[in-house]
Structures are given as C-alpha cells and as structure tokens.
Structure 1
Amino acid sequence: MPRPRIREDLHVEHLPGERVLIRKIDFFILTFCCLSYFINYVRQAHRLRPQHRADPSAQLDRSNLANAYVSGMKDELGFVGNQFNEINTCFTVGYVLGQVPSNLSLYYFKPQIWFPLMMLLWGGLTMVTASAHNPQSIMAIRFFQGMCEASTFVGTHYVLGAWYTERELGKRSGIFTSSGLAGTMIGGFIQTGIYRSMNGRNGLSGWRWLFIVDGLLTIPVALYGFFLFPNTPHTTTAFYLSEAERKLAISRVPTVEERSPITLRFLKKVLTSWYWWGFVGLWAIAGETESFSSNSLLALYLQKHPVHKYTVEELNNYPTGVAAVGIVSTLFWATVTDFLGGKRYLVGYYIGITAIATSIMILVASRNPTSPTSTSVTMGAYYWAGSVYACQATFFAWCNDAMRYEEAVFRGVVLAGMNLGSNAVNAWWSIIFYGASMAPWFTRGMWAMIACSIALVLWSAGLSYLVYKNEKKRVAEIDDGPSMALKDE
C-alpha cells in the first residue's frame, strides 16, 4: 500500500551515523554563526535606523535613535547637520561593496579563518570608534566596518548550503536569521545596561564604553570559530568528526569541480546566468516587502499618532512585537518548506498576499484616523507584516537548493549578489516611499508595497518554473547517460 503523500513529506530516511553527524555540525556551525549574527545586530544599535536615512530633517535625538548618539556622542564630537546620516551612508557603501569580494574570498580562505578574521576586524573597528574625536573619523571607520561585516550574512548562507540537504537547510537558515531578529529585540536593553553601569568609569563617557564592550564581545566568539568551525565537507579537518563522518558529509552533497573565479570565463558565466538575474531580482523585490519593519514604521506611526500620546517606554516596547512575529514566522515557514522538500516559492506567495492585505488595512484605517478601530487595525497590520521576515531564510535557502549542483564559488557569488541587489535598491527605495516625514500613514509607501507584492508573486512563479525546468533537464541528462553509454558500446 503506497505511503500517503503527507507522510512521505514528513518522513525522512537517515543513513547510518547521519543523525549524529547532523547534531555535531548543527552545534558547531549554528552556535558560531548565530552568536556572530546576534552580536552583529546587538552592536547595530549604534547605527541609525533606516527611516532616518530617508528623512535627513528628522530630529536625531528621539527615543528610537542609536544609544551612543543620544547618550552624549552628538555633543561630545560636535555633530552638525546630517553627519550622522552620512555615517550610515558610509557604512552602507562599504557593506554593499564587500558582499561579492567576501564570498569570493571563501574560495581562497577557509571559513574557519575568514569568518573569525572578519569578526575580529569589525570588532576591533568598533572599539577604535571609542577613541574618535570627530564625526569624520567615525565615517572612515564605518566604511571599513561595513566591508568586514559583509561576510556574516551571505557567508553563513554559503556554508549552510555546503553542509545541509534541501530537507534540512530551511530550518538552519531560519534559526540563523532569527538570531539577528533576536539581537534586534534585546539589543537596546543590553546597550542601556552597559551605559548605566559604565558611564564615567575611568574618565570615559558611557557611549565610548558601549563601543569598547561591544567590540570585546566579538573576541571569544571569534576564537571559538578559529578553533572549532568545521569549514565545508570537502575541507573540514575538525577533530570532532571521525573519518567516516567526513566521508558521510561529502556523500550527502553533490561533488562539483571547482575552478578559479578570477577569470573572464567565470565573470561571463555569472552575468549570463539565469541564477544570477533570477535570484538577485527575487531578493531585490522581496527585500522591499520588509520595508514596514525594516524602516520601523510602527514606531513612527505611534510617535505621530493623531490622537494618543505614547510614552518613551511604549514607543520602544511596542515595536519589539514585530520582531517576535518575524521569528515565529521565519521558523514556521523554514520548517514547513523543509518538510515539503524545499518548496520555498510558497513563501513568495504568502508574503505577497500578506503585504497586499496589510497595506490595504492601513490605507482603510487612514480614512478615519481618530477612530479606536483605526488604531487597532493599523497596529494589527504592522504586527502581521512582521511575518514577511520569513523570506530571508527561505529565499536564501531556495538559492542554495537550486544551485546545489553548481560550483560552490558560483553559488557564493549569487548569494552575495542577492544581498548586494537588495541593499542597492533599499538605499533609494526608503527615501522615496518611507521617509519619516510621511508618517503616520505612508500612503505612497502602501501603494508601492502593493505593487511590489504583485511583482514578487509573479517573479516567484516565474523563478519556480525555471528551477523546475532546470531540475527536470538535469535528471533527464542523468537518465540518458547510461543509455547513451550502452548505445556507444
């Protein structure tokens, strides 16, 4: 009697010793990568939030700004005009420029060396920030910091794709991206605690101690990575993996011939590939469906509410629920798409529907802004919109799945290109559609979100067809191989 389809999706066969192998690599890969990403996002509390890039005239000492800035750095260093915004621009430029070179470097340097090295560099630059005496110094530091931090997100997705199968990858990608959301949720509380306990100690201002302590946090995590990160299945020398486990790890993923990426052949392959244009385009669109959350629109809505006056604590605490929704949604969809054998495109449809529905809810609520129902609907919409964070884990896992049989460095470049494309679009998208001056309703942004969501649904459908067609072609070539060999004989 055939097994019911749902049981087939949920049932996973494991090779002898495979469960033990997975537990080991789960522990050593995820602990390092999640701690690195968590600290990265905790430290990002120093950076100005995206909506303030969008509106240079926004007052910079409001409750939801970076702790260091409002804790004395502005006055002590003599910030004027839009210099804080310019600092964030410097970081973004460095971050975008570092994406592809960082993942290309993984062809020449083992992740066990590259990741901790970059982490020590951006941690060191964080501590150097404490010695700054003018905004221009911080601009230079932030540029190089952005280049170093470019290794964390896309580099981790590259490594996850090297170790895990399509029935395992989504959950691990979800856990990793959720660690960043967790850092967003509690980073402000950690920064406040550091400031209160260290301000004035040894003659240093509290904001300087923030940078010093945050930088020091990277050292034990980086050392952990130097000694215990397992690299990739084909390059691992981890002492905690037996020879049999190393061979098993290699057998779980396709073996693909690797060639140097610094050639015209490789450049042509990337730029003429549907992988590059398909997945970079996917994330450029999908990244903007996160605009409600990434631009902190709920906080701005509450701050400029037409009726209520919210306290500082409420302005800080209410938006944290958005990140909590994002964590739950990320883990849920990552797990579901794993069970379904890697049908990541389903998340594109869910996100499209969610973003359209929440935009319409806010547009309707804006027609009667003083109504209690308007407030309830708007807050409910922003919380629900937090669930679109699920696309981070699932779409990068989708790229890893689709490129499983391609050169690892090619896959790494496409993953980096996805993040590069998204940040390049967001640099101007937020300015046009989600400036703080457009609060509380962001009407232009709501219509932009609806258009973006429709584009995402169509793009997801088209890309899923290309992936299906490519997989079908690959299987056909494998099936035709033996028959062609017999025919030749």
Structure 2
Amino acid sequence: MFMMGLLGRFKSYLKGHESVPGEAKLLQKIDTFILSFCCLCYFANYLDRSNLNNAYVSGMKEELDFKGNELNVINTVFTVGYIVGQLPSNLAVTYWRPHLFFPSMMVIWGALTMVTAAVHNPQGIMAIRFFLGLAESSTFVGTHYILGSWYTEKELGKRSGIFTASGLAGTMFGGFIQTGIQSSLDGARGLSGWRWLFIIDGLITIPIAIYGFLLFPDTPTTTKAPYLTSEERAMAIARIPESGAEKVPLNLKFAKRVFTTWYWYAFVMLWVIAGETESFSSNALLALYMKSHPTNSYTVAQLNNYPTGVPAVGIISTLFWATITDFMGGKRYLVGYFIAITGIITSALILTQFHDTAVVFGAYYWAGAVYACQATFFAWCNDAMRYQNDRFRSVVIASMNMGSNAVNAWWILLFYSADFAPRFTKGMWAMIGCCIALAIWTTGIIFMSVREERRSEVHDTRIRDIETKQVDTIREV
C-alpha cells in the first residue's frame, strides 16, 4: 500500500497540479515558450563552446600547429571573457527586456563562431574566444534568474534540469555533428571539416535568436507576450513573493546587503567547489586521454563519438536528480553528497586501474553524472532566496558562476593541462580533495538554511503576537 501511494504521488507530481483555476494552462504556456527558447539557446551555447575540442581532435591541432598547452590557454581566455560578462549580464536582465537582450547576445556569439572558421593560428582563436565568452555569459545565469522568476519551489527543479540537459545535449551532439561534417564536407570549397563545423554551428543560432525576439515572455512583471491573457499575467505575478519583485537601486547600501548576508558566501563557494567536480567532463579529459593513449590509436570518428557518452550520462543524472529533489520537497543537498561519492570513486579508479582501458572509460562515463549539480544547486539558490529581492538574487546567481569560472581559469592549467594527458594524476587528486570539501560545505549550508528558517518562524510568530495584542487592545477600547 505504501509503494502504491508513493507511486500515485509521483505520477501526480509529473502531471503537475492546479492550485487555482487556470494555473495549469499558464504553466503550459510558459513551459512552451520559456523552456523551448532557453533550452534551444543553451543547446547552441554548448554546441559552440564544445566545438573547439571537437575541432582540435579533428585536424585543427595539426593544421594550425598547436604547441604544448595552447588549447588550455584558449579555453582559459574564453573563461576570462565568460567571467567578466557574468555580473553585468545578469544585472542587465533586471534593467532591459530579456526578449531583446538574450537573442542579441546570441546573434553576437553566432557571428563570432562563424568567424573562427577563418583563423590561421591559435592566437586568432584566442582573441575570438574572449569575446565569445563575453556574449555567452548571459545564457546560463540569466536563464536561472528567469526560471526563478516564473516558477515555484515545486516546479523549479524539473525545469532547471531540463534546461541543463539541453546544454549537455549540445555537447553530446557536437561530437556527432563533427563526425558527419568530417565525412561529408571535409575539403568542400577548399575548407577543412573542422572549419565547416564553426560555420554550421554559428548558422544554427540565427533562427533560435529570431524566435526569442518574437516570443520570449520576459518576466511576470514586465511581460507583454501576446499569448498570455491579462488574467494569466496577474496570476503569474501573484505566484511571485512581493518582497522579491521590488526593484532596488544599485548603490553602497545594496552592495553592503550582498556582502553581509550568508547567501552570497554560501552559494558562491558551493558552486566554486562543485564547478571543479565537473572538470573531467567540461575539459574533455576522455577525448584527450584517447588522443594520447599509450597503446591504442583511435580514428577521428571515434575521438568525436566515444566521449559523447559522458554528457549522455550527465543528461540522465541531471533529469533524475532535478525531478526527484522536486518530488522530495526541494532536498537539493542530497546531490552534494552523491557528487562527492561519485568524484572520489571515479578518481580512485582512474588512479589505480589506469592500465585497464575499459575501467578508465567506465570511470570517465560515470563521472559525467556530476553534471546533476548544475540544475539542482542553482535551483537550491533560487529556493533559498525566494523571499529576497530579485536584483539581489540575480547578483548571487551571477556570482556563483563567476566565482566558479574564475577558479576554473587557472585550475585547468594547474591540474588538467593537455600535456598532462593521458594520466592527469594531479587532477585526480584534486578531484578527490574537491569532493571531500563539497560534502563538508553542503553540510554547512544545510545548517545555515535550517537556522534561517527557525529565525523566520520566530520572527513571524512575534509579528502575529504583536498583531493579536493590537487587535485585543482595540477591542478593549
């Protein structure tokens, strides 16, 4: 009976609920237009981001005469641009209409991706990737800000998971696309297959941007989407805490508020640590391991196709944990412990079983499961800050990703440089250290969240007592 009841609750959760008339229809509409655009945008974002590694193992390294760790330096330059753009981008979304801002950034990065096809040396790619990072910085944190503006705690995790999975799908399909281009367009019009990859990836962004210009609904308080009725717009606003919708000026008082509350420190450090647990996957270590394998030689198709299993595992893990933590009432912290265990075990396997290629492949695939932290940790931040000001929330979300990438900019050079392949011994030990730190920090945030909830309960009780006394006094008079 217990299992039947649990299954019934889970089916009900997947179908969604309607607490007020018309809410289900509103959710259907915003899912259709917000999630479709954000997921397509993030898919293209990751497609353009991962194509450098795909191109590197598909002939670009030899044609442009890459030396040493130049690939890592290019990735670091991209990361620097990405870091610089984080905070300005997320603050821009609170000032400018998102349906204009997001697509405009998309057009810029699509154009820069196509320009990459014309480069003749690694230095040219470095310059382009810096500005590419600036333009792409708007997508990830901006979308999490938008999702937190439209969805409630019971709805947010699943939507964040779908969004994150779309980026992983971009990484996964990037390998297949490169394989197809390599076999069909390599040499066409005198261009190498890897050059065609940049051209085609850039062209993919244009229709998605046009779709965003026309149909993205902005935020509940600013939307003028033609497919939302006036009643639905009012309902969307009513679903948002009033304290969050207030717009505050950017001044010294605001900065003091950001840096004197625990939210900024707790969630920025959480993502700094968790971001580095994604290093195996985000730095394409499996592809570099294959490229530098001590005994085996892999074809271009294998170098592009085999690593796609990593984001595939990430998609499954992301959707599972995002859905299950929603169903369990927002227990996002469970993912912190899962990732810590996963990272320690996979690193230990690669360190101790390096002679066994099958075990190493399995460990790298399993390590893709840590991608689950993207959706759940940003949903955790949105949940914890639901009653905080929107602009404050946007700064914390942007700072999370900015802090993570600031560390990753030098972390990859220190632990995952391309010339460390195929063993990455220092990187394996770094991963173990990060996972232990993640488990400890997750426990700390749980403590702070519980303490904050108790303070809020005490405050609410005092307010109710004061109001009751005032009412009693008035009645006596």
TM-score (norm 2): 0.89
Q: Which residue number corresponds to residue 334 of structure 2?
A: 346
Task: Give the AA of the match of 1:170.
Answer: G
Q: Which residue number corresponds to residue 164 of structure 1?
A: 151
Deviation track 1:304-341 (CA, whole Å, cap 9, x = no partner) reads: 44554444433332221111111100000000000011
Q: Which residue number corresponds to residue 122 of structure 1?
A: 109
Alignment of structure 1 residues 393-432 onto 2, 5 Å: 393-432=375-414
1:143 corresponds to 2:136: no
Separation in 2, partners of 1:304, 1:129: 25
Q: Percent identity?
A: 60
Deviation track 1:348-392 (CA, whole Å, cap 9, x = no partner) reads: 0111111112222223314xx2xxxx3333322222211111001
Of 428, 437, 449, the match for 1:446? 428
Higher percent of residues as helix: 2
Separation in 2, partners of 1:244, 1:104: 29
Alignment of structure 1 residues 102-251 onto 2, 5 Å: 102-130=89-117, 136-194=123-181, 208-251=195-238
Separation in 1, partners of 2:70, 2:420: 22
The Cα shift of 1:474 comes to 2.3
Q: Which residue number corresponds to residue 282 of structure 1?
A: 270
Q: Which residue number corresponds to residue 357 of structure 1?
A: 345
Q: Which residue number corresponds to residue 69 of structure 1?
A: 60
Report if aligned partners of 1:166, 1:338 keep a CA contact under 8 Å in 2. Answer: yes
Report if aligned partners of 1:356, 1:453 keep a CA contact under 8 Å in 2. Answer: yes
Q: Which residue number corresponds to residue 388 of structure 1?
A: 370
Separation in 2, partners of 1:64, 1:121: 21
The Cα shift of 1:95 comes to 0.8
Task: Give the AA of the match of 2:463.
Answer: G
The Cα shift of 1:235 comes to 1.3
Change over 3 Å in CA distance of 1:106–1:82 after alignment to 2: same
Q: Which residue number corresponds to residue 60 of structure 1?
A: none
Task: Give the AA of the match of 2:94.
Answer: Y
Change over 3 Å in CA distance of 1:138–1:297 after alignment to 2: closer
Task: Give the AA of the match of 1:167.
Answer: K
Count of residue pairs the alignment pairs up:
464
Task: Give the AA of the match of 1:69.
Answer: M
Report if aligned partners of 2:86, 2:137 keep a CA contact under 8 Å in 1. Answer: yes
Q: Which is further off, 206-215 or 337-346?
A: 206-215
1:327 corresponds to 2:315: yes
Separation in 2, partners of 1:358, 1:81: 27
Report if aligned partners of 2:343, 2:367 keep a CA contact under 8 Å in 1. Answer: yes
Partner SS for 1:318: helix
Q: Which residue number corresponds to residue 304 of structure 2?
A: 316
Q: Which residue number corresponds to residue 485 of structure 1?
A: 467
Report if aligned partners of 1:125, 1:145 keep a CA contact under 8 Å in 2. Answer: yes
Report if aligned partners of 1:67, 1:188 keep a CA contact under 8 Å in 2. Answer: no
The Cα shift of 1:236 comes to 1.3
Report if aligned partners of 2:69, 2:418 keep a CA contact under 8 Å in 1. Answer: no
Structure 1: runs of 5+ lacking an equivalent: 49-62
Report if aligned partners of 1:38, 1:179 keep a CA contact under 8 Å in 2. Answer: yes
Task: Give the AA of the match of 1:436.
Answer: A
Report if aligned partners of 1:181, 1:327 keep a CA contact under 8 Å in 2. Answer: yes
Change over 3 Å in CA distance of 1:137–1:381 after alignment to 2: closer
Separation in 2, partners of 1:296, 1:64: 12
Report if aligned partners of 1:261, 1:267 keep a CA contact under 8 Å in 2. Answer: no
Separation in 1, partners of 2:188, 2:300: 27
Q: Which is further off, 350-359 or 203-212?
A: 203-212
1:252 corresponds to 2:242: no
Report if aligned partners of 2:175, 2:305 keep a CA contact under 8 Å in 1. Answer: no
Q: Which residue number corresponds to residue 26 of structure 1?
A: 31
Partner SS for 1:167: helix
Separation in 1, partners of 2:210, 2:99: 10
Partner SS for 2:219: coil
Structure 2: runs of 5+ lacking an equivalent: none
Of 88, 95, 116, the match for 1:101? 88
RMSD: 2.8
Q: Which residue number corresponds to residue 283 of structure 2?
A: 295
The Cα shift of 1:272 comes to 2.0
Deviation track 1:159-191 (CA, whole Å, cap 9, x = no partner) reads: 011111111111111111111111111113324
Separation in 2, partners of 1:322, 1:209: 24
Q: Which is further off, 252-261 or 14-23?
A: 252-261
Report if aligned partners of 1:402, 1:467 keep a CA contact under 8 Å in 2. Answer: yes
Deviation track 1:97-138 (CA, whole Å, cap 9, x = no partner) reads: 000100010121011111111111212233344455665554
The Cα shift of 1:84 comes to 5.4
Change over 3 Å in CA distance of 1:121–1:442 after alignment to 2: closer
Change over 3 Å in CA distance of 1:478–1:7 after alignment to 2: farther
Partner SS for 1:47: helix
Separation in 2, partners of 1:387, 1:137: 34
The Cα shift of 1:291 comes to 1.7
Report if aligned partners of 1:304, 1:440 keep a CA contact under 8 Å in 2. Answer: yes
Task: Give the AA of the match of 1:65.
Answer: Y
Q: Which residue number corresponds to residue 14 of structure 1?
A: 18
TM-score (norm 1): 0.86
Report if aligned partners of 2:176, 2:304 keep a CA contact under 8 Å in 1. Answer: no
The Cα shift of 1:433 comes to 2.1
Of 418, 441, 449, the match for 1:467? 449
